[in-house]
Amino acid sequence: MVLSSKKLELESQNELLNYLKLEYSHFTKERERFKETIELHKKELNDFRESYMSTLNNNNNQTTKE
């Protein structure tokens, strides 16, 4: 009887452990996806900034020439 109870307890703990492993795996994938998204946005922001600065410099050069 005690052995049977321990076996059920271990099975329950094993199920919980498997569930937590699965959740951690999902969390890790999401975290990586967010990191990639952040890096992409950083690049887009940097590209926009460079383009904007280039436009400002070009406008400034045209104004100076006139």
C-alpha to C-alpha distance for 31 and 11, rounded to whole angstroms? 30
What's the length of the chain?
66
Residue 65 pLDDT greater than 70, yes or no:
no
- At 7-60, the pLDDT tens digits run 999 999 999 999 999 999 999 999 999 999 999 999 999 999 999 999 999 888
Question: Which amino acid would we find at residue 35?
Answer: K
> Which has the higher per-residue pLDDT, 58 or 66?
58
List the structure tokens of 32: 């990586």
Query: What spatial distance separates the first Cα and last Cα of the chain, rounded to whole Å?
Result: 97
